[in-house]
Amino acid sequence: MISRQPACEPCRKSKLACDHTHPVCTRCRTSNRAGLCLYRSTPFKRKRPLTSNKSPEEPRSSPSRDPLLTPSARSSRRQRYPNPGYIGSSSHVAIFSHIPPTASDQTVAPQLAEPTAPTTTVDMNDDDVLLQRAADATRLLLAHAPLQSMKDLVNLWLSSGANLALGGALLENTIDSIDLALTSMSTNANWHRHYAEFLLRNSAQALHSNSSLTLAEFCAQFTEHNIRWETLGLFVLAVIRASYDVPYFAPLYSKDHGIYDLRKRCFRVANCALEIALSLDQLNDLQLVLQYENLIVHSYIAGDQSYQYWRRLGDGIASIFALGYHQTNGLERNAPVFLQELRRTAFARIFSADKNMAIFLGRPPRMPRHFCDFQIPSAPAGTSHWDLSSDPSEITPDWSPAAVPSYVAESRWSALCASLKEDILYLQRDKKSDHFTDLASIIQAQAERLWDELPRQFRLEGSLKETTKDGFERDSLASFQLNHLHVLFLLRLVVLPSPATPSQELVTLAEQILATVVALIMLRDQLTNSGTSLMWKIVHYGLPAAGIILLAVLNQRCSSAPVPAPHPRAIQNLTVLAAELSGGSVVQLQDPNYDLISRALSTIHNMLDSITADALRGPGAPSPRTTTLADWEEFQSQLSWDLDLGFWQNLADTPFLGD
């Protein structure tokens, strides 16, 4: 006897025969509705009518409401007046808050002290084009990528220990909510528009918080039947991130087919979700998390040199200031412990991203520590890679001796190092100061003190290959070491009269950085992203270190005086770096950083060819080309301390690499 098999939701509601094929039945596949082909977990259990204890005046909080919007409710609403956000002490609002309330204006003074947006709302007719674009992007994504397959991909990615660096704690609570409202609309011809309006109406609602709120209660405001555009945005961003760490996933893509199309379609939905959230002028923690994770994906898809990434980083900084999370009183306002830690983590990650990009691009930082209460998350003891402490006693300014590698711990260390990098940026502009040497010594001492205070379990001792840790911990140890070495590298670089004449200390630091980056490349299949991608480590750490080693070789060739020479192992690491990056398994033509890396590779290959030619000619053989000191000095004047794209272009033009 053949057991009864359940039909998928579209076939069941349309009362059509279903062949029960998983994950997508034949009828849904042929009708281009693969993304809507869902099977209920308990198909033959009769559902009880949902009831609610809420009053009729609160339809949003009742899960029994119809997710399809009526025509009168189709135009979602937003505030007539912009949300002022954080108001500082120099504002007239702060001045007026000191005026005692009188009988005639006793309701005015409290509003000035804690500004809130009026309840008056207006229709969002001007945003109809944006909403339609978001609806079309969602329909196109689900037509080509089954929703259940995308959820399986994200769950597989999470099982490896990877997660979103900031939104990880929220992501795990949102995955199962994506299809709850969608299934009730799947048979409607205009389902994508109704789904977009449903998400929009929820996104227009404020998120509430108080000191007794739990993480589950907080997530309940944007999950299940309260799902918002921000929720969907986080999910599709997780799909994109998972596609980078899971090279082959048969239901959606293979290594060479379909993966770029999936990322492109998810990227459109993610960008629309963020644009809608920003257009509603609802400053909240969920929007901030979505902003950060969106800008990180921009670095993956558009590249670290992309203006879009730079602009969205500025938007994230603007939100930190507008929310008041740069101040202690704003960060702790109406927030339980876990939410305070989430805000501290957001501050730490955006603060460190600001400093790293300022260094990488040679631009001014936009989030000065001088105007912030520098608060960073604690690193409590725990076993989760993404853990928000809920115990106030665990919130301490120092490292917990029992802390384990985690995304929160990496955020804390990155912010501490970024604080010193900001000091180095200011020091670089103050080279003529009489206190320059003293300031450099102070930064050096602070960097060494931070490293000494770091718990032993966060330090990489010995070879990365011989470390008996899992993939996440290995990657985390390398990240901690690279961030520390990067601070010392930048400090040694800025105290030099010219980068073209590197000191022995700088060359040694460059060799250590390059050795760690090469080890990460060789072990890439055994590592789990602990906060920064392998490509990010190559571009931000590996290439500057390689550039200094090349400069040391060139400087040794043209100078008759004793100069620091790279260790032979450094030349070997350069060879491995060039071979791995040229092989196409680390960086490909479609990758956004390909242009920068290809220019650097061309220069490295020319240098390695020159070194090999010298070795083949023998120690006494004359060089086929004579280079004067004037040639070298002319090249020195073209160098830039941040070792960006122009550095590699100038280095390739040096007369030493013309043979």
Q: Cα 23 to chain center, whole Å?
A: 31
Phi, psi of 77 (to 5 degrees): -120, 150
- Please, what is the angle between helix 543-558 and helix 594-617, to 10°? 30
pLDDT score recorded for residue 177? 83
Give the angle 152-157-163 at the CA atoms, nearest 5°.
Answer: 125
What tokens does 16 get? 């059509």
Other Cβ atoms less than 10 A from the Cβ of 164: the count is 22
User: Cα(first)–Cα(last) distance of the chain, in Å?
Assistant: 80
What tokens does 107 get? 């309701």
Cα 353 from Cα 358, distance rounded (Å): 8
DSSP code of 534? H
pLDDT score recorded for residue 189? 78
pLDDT score recorded for residue 159? 93
Other Cβ atoms less than 10 A from the Cβ of 89: the count is 9
Place of tokens 């979602």: 76
Q: For the segment 283-342, what is each residue's pLDDT rounded down to a tens digit?
A: 999 999 999 999 999 999 998 889 999 999 999 999 999 999 999 888 888 899 999 999
pLDDT band of 632, cuts 50, 70, 90: very low
Q: For the segment 533-561, what is each residue's pLDDT rounded down to a tens digit?
A: 999 999 999 999 999 999 888 887 776 55
Cα 47 from Cα 226, distance rounded (Å): 20
Q: For the segment 186-236, what is each residue's pLDDT rounded down to a tens digit?
A: 667 788 999 999 999 999 999 999 989 999 999 999 998 899 999 999 999
Domain ranges of the chain: 1-39, 127-302
pLDDT band of 110, cuts 50, 70, 90: very low
Question: What CATH number was assigned to the domain covering residues 1-39?
Answer: 4.10.240.10
Taking residues 591-599, report their average pLDDT: 87
Contact 369, 423 (CB under 8 A): no
Other Cβ atoms less than 10 A from the Cβ of 520: the count is 21
What tokens does 234 get? 């986080």
Q: Please tell me whether the overall predicted TM-score, pTM, comes out greater than 0.95 for this model.
A: no
Which H or E run includes 79?
strand 77-79
pLDDT score recorded for residue 294? 97
Cα 17 from Cα 516, distance rounded (Å): 59
Cα 582 from Cα 575, distance rounded (Å): 11
* Least confident span in 43-52, 151-160, 186-195, 547-556: 43-52
